[in-house]
Structure 1
Amino acid sequence: MSRVISAHSVSVDGCLTGRDPGAGRGLGDAPMLFDWYFDGDTPSRVFDGFKLSAPSARVFDALAGRVGASLAGRRTYDDSGWIDGGTPHPDAPLVVLSHRPVPGMTDGRQTLVTTGIEDAVAAARALAGDRDVAVMGGCAATAALAAGLVDEVILHQVPILLGAGRPFFLSLPEHVRLRLVEVVPAPGVTHLHYEVVR
């Protein structure tokens, strides 16, 4: 069965965005959270245009190569500009979890689910086949963690304290224990790979 992974670039203080993120503004004042995608000389084998450091390319491509479907909450979807079509992964369809309609969703690689995180993960798993599901955004990741649906958490931790912005993890109903699998230091980022302990 496919695994459900949540992988995000985060600041040391746990933020996914800076101040004032939103549609047309992306991450707000924190675009540096993704500088490591472009600060090296090793081209990604999965994402055209990405040139990472050698250690980051190894981690990033191994992870991106596993993804068969992505799942994002509505705020991440809107803020990222996918409402105009497309998906966050070049080869994987996108499931959007929203409690309200998405006007104009016509991209055949996008699927809307309005009935909760369990159904959204099930839809993404069906689309992913034997590959993995990547959950994106703090709200969707938190809901999936709370429902016991996440198998792995990967933090691409960028050495900056943003002091404000959207936090990665929101309130959880109980503790979620993690087991550290791998730490990969790289220029501008440290890759922290955890498994969720059940």
Structure 2
Amino acid sequence: MSKVITAHAVSVDGYLSGHTPEDQAEFGRGLGDAAMLFDWYSDGDTPSTTFDGFRLSEPSARFFDALASRLGAAVAGRTTYEHSSHFSGGSPHPTAPLVVVSHHDVPEISEAQTLVTTGIADAIAAAREIAGSKDVGVMGGAVASSALAAGLVDEVVLHQVPILLGRGRPFFHELPAHVNLRLIEAVPAPGVTHLHYEVVR
């Protein structure tokens, strides 16, 4: 069976952006120091084999492309969808179609995207069907936390950047109970350490 993976660049203190919680803009403006969380996408000399325009260090490219090549569908919440300009009607991944999970209708949804309004479990089920034998990627802190709380996530990947932001938008939201993780792999690279965990059930 395919696996469900959530991955994001985070600071050492667990933030995915430097915004205060009151700031509704997640990406593209007002990042401040949090822009450093994404420098490793472009500060290397090894082109990504999956994402055009990404130039990573060799260890980052090896880790990132191995992970990205596993995905056959992606799931994102309404907030991530809105803050990412609807992914221009496509997907954040070049070959994995996008499923958007929302409590309400999304008029901007394109024919290339799938909308699910009946909860995270149904969204992941829809993504699994799209992905076939490949894995499903879950984007965004709120959606990832909902999927973790529902016991639907198999692997967690943190691209941890050596900075303490002190405040901002945390990746993990409040969970109803603790989630045990087992470290599978830790890959140090220039400007980032890739931490790959398995969710222990």
TM-score bin, normalised by smaller chain:
over 0.9
Q: Are residues 1:144 and 2:147 paired? A: yes
- Structure 1 unaligned spans of 5+: none
Q: Are residues 1:179 and 2:182 paired? A: yes
TM-score of the aligned structures, taking structure 1 as reference length? 0.95
Matches of 2:40 and 2:87, distance apart in 1 = 26
Q: Larger deviation: 188-197 or 96-105?
A: 96-105
- Give the total of aligned pairs: 197
TM-score of the aligned structures, taking structure 2 as reference length? 0.94
Q: Are residues 1:197 and 2:200 paired? A: yes
- 1:39 is matched with which residue: 35, 40, 43? 43
Contact 1:21 1:28 in 2 (8 A): no
Quote the residue 1:55 is aligned against.
59
Q: Larger deviation: 129-138 or 79-88?
A: 79-88
CA RMSD of aligned residues (A): 1.4
Q: Larger deviation: 129-138 or 23-32?
A: 23-32
Quote the residue 2:80 is aligned against.
76
Alpha-carbon deviations, 1:133-179, whole Å to 9, x = none? 00000000000000000000000001111112111111111110000
- 2:124 is matched with which residue: 111, 121, 136? 121
| CA shift in 2, pair 1:116/1:25, >3 Å | same
- 1:155 is matched with which residue: 158, 162, 180? 158
Matches of 1:181 and 1:27, distance apart in 2 = 34
Report the residue type matching 2:43 in the other structure: D
- State the shift of 1:84 in Å: 3.7
- 1:64 is matched with which residue: 64, 68, 85? 68
Matches of 2:127 and 2:27, distance apart in 1 = 26
Quote the residue 2:89 is aligned against.
85
Aligned residues with identical type, % of pairs? 69
Matches of 1:59 and 1:74, distance apart in 2 = 28
- Structure 2 unaligned spans of 5+: none
Report the residue type matching 1:11 in the other structure: S
Report the residue type matching 2:12 in the other structure: V
| CA shift in 2, pair 1:76/1:182, >3 Å | same
Quote the residue 1:7 is aligned against.
7
